[in-house]
Amino acid sequence: MTEVLVVGSGPTGLMLAAELRLHGVDVVVLEKDSAPTKVVRAMGLHARSVEVMDQRGVLERFLAVGTQYPVAGFFAGIPKPTPALDSAHAYTLGMPQPAIDRILAERAVELGAELRYGVEVVGLSQDERGVDVELADGSRLRAGYVVGCDGGRSTVRKLLGIGFPGEPSQVETLLGEMSVGDPLDTVNAVQNEVRKTERRFGLMPLEDGVFRVVVPADGLAADRNVPPTLEEVKQQLMVVAGTDFGVHSPRWLSRFGDATRLADRYQVDRVLLAGDAAHIHPPLGGQGLNLGVQDAFNLGWKLAAEINGWAPAGLLESYEAERRPVGAAVLDSTRAQGVLMSLDAGPQALRRLFTELMDFEEVNRLLIERIVAIDVRYDVGEGHELLGRRLRDLELKGGRLYARMHEGRGLLLDQTGRLSVTGWEDRVDHVVDVSEELDAPAVLLRPDGHVVWVGEDQTDLATHLTRWFGR
């Protein structure tokens, strides 16, 4: 019996598989497609996701193929300068989703995960000891746990009967990569004019005359799984821009809507949801892929602790308690941005007001921190201002904090030198070091980098070690 079956090989599923393997959990990833997708639905990593990759020691792989961009203009496309962010990675790392998928897949396989393509899940049932999964070819698999990371139309979610309330798509957008016949100067001139009023439009040059093309569709498709034709794209370019730019030879074509939905539950006994299987929203602010990766980062160590037998009561259930509110907040953010991007008179008045308000550094920073997810604070109890927040990468006398977190264990950063993690050494690293950037005697970090204790009393520390890392 496999310990965990992950359904879906997108960024969420692959990140989860790697996190589980760090803790020795047996993982198999099932993907119904026969090969990794070439469709580019996301274009990069925000600051918190970049931090996550740094915490696990794989950031250099992403930096080698990505491009760093300022964190500016992400909230509803309102052009403002990048605010001062409390992060060593205050940038957006631009790179196409297939490249992100490839690096995460390589990482998961290196750690021992198994990836199976062309395997479709069609049924599941569970009991107190595990989950039986039925495949499209009639075979069956048995697992201790199943995690559905299989996208907005999640089969796992539907099989569980979990509600997915929200708003259906009102508009649809066509997307693809294709060659463009017109010169770049012409493309830019037309694009600059059209985008004054239509923000769901754009042509981004890639290489060798190939562009990423985005254009509003003519209504809603009966089946969004059916990609648009090149003629449909050309027709909509003519309608919106007055020219089709001589587009030809598409690499791939797709379409997406603006539905906004949040799963009623993230867990039913031994089956859980993560990523788009648990929440969908328009791509405003580029938050979707990042939200899923961060779901996996929260879930991985908790599920591993449950399987490895040291999880304290309620730890696995805290995944839904912590991440569902984060998902709801992202949905609200995209709803607000959608209103501000409308061309109607009321929303345009709001947009002008927000444009003025964002001249205040505090407002600009608050909105951008929500987009890049460094503002997330989990409810771990009252007390010090750091509690519940992720700790930024600190410069220690002996190196960087994140360099000590590659193994996915808890970490006690002890500036007093008087504390101990005796009894928890197999789960928590004790780092005796100091940093001019940390105004606290000692902090206890979970494997996901969030602070769950601040202080210098050994008895109090032991209480919190037990709470988060078991007896």
**Residues with Cβ < 8 Å from 145, sequence gap 6 or more?**
3, 4, 5, 130, 131, 270, 271, 272, 303, 306, 307
Tell me which residue has tokens 């899923």. 292
Structure tokens at 352: 């002008």
pLDDT of residue 34: 94
DSSP state of 159: H
Distance CA 335, CA 323 (A): 19
Distance of CA 260 to the CA centre of its chain: 16
pLDDT of residue 373: 97
Tell me which residue has tokens 């006690």. 412
Contact 390, 85 (CB under 8 A): no
Distance CA 413, CA 385 (A): 17
pLDDT of residue 130: 98
Averages of pLDDT over each 10 residues, the chain, 471 residues: 97 98 98 90 93 98 96 89 94 94 98 98 97 98 98 97 95 93 94 88 88 93 88 96 96 92 98 98 90 98 98 98 98 94 92 96 96 97 96 97 98 98 97 97 98 98 98 91
Contact 351, 78 (CB under 8 A): yes
Angle at 23 between CA 151 and CA 433, to 5 degrees: 115
Contact 285, 371 (CB under 8 A): yes
Domains of the chain: 2-166+261-372 (3.50.50.60), 172-257 (3.30.70.2450), 395-469 (3.40.30.120)
pLDDT of residue 138: 97
Distance CA 126, CA 140 (A): 13
Contact 274, 149 (CB under 8 A): yes
pLDDT of residue 397: 97
- Residues comprising the chain, all counted: 471
Distance of CA 319 to the CA centre of its chain: 15
Structure tokens at 189: 């001139």
Q: How far is CA 269 from CA 42, 155, 183, 266, in A?
A: 31, 17, 57, 10
Distance CA 217, CA 233 (A): 8
Report the DSSP pairing between strands 2-7 and 27-31.
parallel
Q: How far is CA 227 from CA 101, 151, 175, 206, 276, in A?
A: 21, 17, 9, 21, 20
pLDDT of residue 229: 95
Secondary structure element (H or E) that encloses residue 11, with its range: helix 11-22
Which residues partner with 125 through β-bridges? 132
Structure tokens at 230: 């090149």
Crossing angle of the two packed helices 184-194 and 230-241, in degrees rounded to 10: 60
Secondary structure element (H or E) that encloses residue 462, with its range: helix 458-469
pLDDT of residue 295: 98
Distance CA 464, CA 45 (A): 32
DSSP state of 403: G
Q: Which stretches within 242-391 are classed as H helix?
A: 288-308, 318-340, 345-357, 361-372
Name the pTM for this structure. 0.94
Nearest to 50 by CA among 302, 283, 284, 297: 297
Distance CA 84, CA 447 (A): 26
Structure tokens at 217: 């569709």
E strand segments, 90-201: 92-94, 114-117, 121-126, 131-135, 140-148, 166-167, 172-179
Residues 72-116 pLDDT 10s: 888 998 999 999 999 999 999 999 999 999 999 999 999 999 999
pLDDT of residue 283: 87
Q: CA torsion sign, 319 to 321 to 324 to 328?
A: negative
